[in-house]
Amino acid sequence: MKLSAIFEEKPARWGLRGDPYFWDYLKEHAENMDMMSPDELEAWIKAEYVSLSGKPLTDQYMDFAKIKQFAHGGMSSGGVDNRWWVEKGIPLLKSRLTAL
């Protein structure tokens, strides 16, 4: 089973408009990756975020990154919400990984 399995079901709610695109980006890259530990998963997501945005993924209130490749129109287009990923996205994915 590949790591992309934990990305199959998308969350009903997101932080910013770029979050679903970051999710899809991670899913696409995870298609060729084997399962890993929850801590390795978190480190991988944070590393991908840094590589795309140039800044660390933190839980600071109102902290986000504008990632050009995820911008598809609109004022908040391309925005990836750090806090959503730290508080909701990463914990969700880690719990799915643990359940497998």
**pLDDT for 60-100, tens place per residue?**
766 778 888 887 776 667 888 888 999 999 999 999 999 98
Among 5, 15, 3, residue whose Cα is nearest residue 42: 3
Q: Which domain holds residue 83?
A: 17-99
Residue 9 lies in a domain: no
pLDDT at residue 61, rounded to an integer: 61
Angle separating helix axes 38-53 and 90-99, nearest 10 degrees: 150
Q: Is residue 85 part of a domain?
A: yes
| Residue 77 maps to a domain | yes
Asked, for residue 5, whether it belongs to a domain, the answer is no
Tell me the pLDDT tens digit for each residue of 8-51: 999 999 988 889 999 999 999 999 999 999 999 999 999 999 99
What pLDDT is recorded for position 31? Answer: 96
Rg, C-alpha atoms of the chain: 13
Considering its fold, how many domains does the chain have in total?
A: 1
Residue 23 lies in a domain: yes
Would 11 be classed as within a structural domain?
no
Say if pTM beats, i.e. exceeds, 0.75: yes
